[in-house]
Amino acid sequence: MIFDAFEPIARQEVTRRIPQADIDNLKQDLESKNIWEIRRAFELTTFFFHTEQQIQEYNKDGTAEFIRRKFYELLKMYDAFDYVKFQSNFIAFDSKENFDKNFESNWFWYSRR
């Protein structure tokens, strides 16, 4: 359908609508999960852990899925037109270790990947 062409833009808008205070509160609520940073870019939000090993561990033990569900709940609060589906790609995981090693701790270079 023609409306599908607008779906990525609508999902971006949902992500942008979330106030930074809500992102900060989520990060604080997930403090025990070793989250270094939460960065939004377009329709994708990246949760940065400290190490690559943490990503592997959290994918195995269900922590990554827990975080995905918590963030989805937050997204849905701002999704007036029901564009974000749980099956869609709205979250990613990365590490400070990768950011420092491969992007020289530079957000500009990271955003160009």
> Percentage of residues in the chain with pLDDT exceeding 90?
72
> Can you give the pTM of this predicted structure?
0.89
C-alpha distances in Å from residue 101, one per residue of 37, 51, 105, 107: 16, 11, 7, 13
Average pLDDT, the chain: 91
Mutual angle of helices 63-77 and 52-61, in 10-degree steps: 80
Q: Are 26 and 74 in contact (CB under 8 A)?
A: yes
The domain segmentation of the chain, as residue ranges, is: 23-111
Split at pLDDT 50, 70, 90, the class of 4 is low
The pLDDT assigned to 87 comes to: 85
Residue 79: φ, ψ to 5°: -100, 75
Report the C-alpha gap between 53 and 61 in whole angstroms: 12
Helix (H) or strand (E) holding 40: strand 35-41
- pLDDT per position as a tens digit, 26-79: 999 998 889 999 999 988 999 999 999 999 999 999 999 999 999 999 999 999
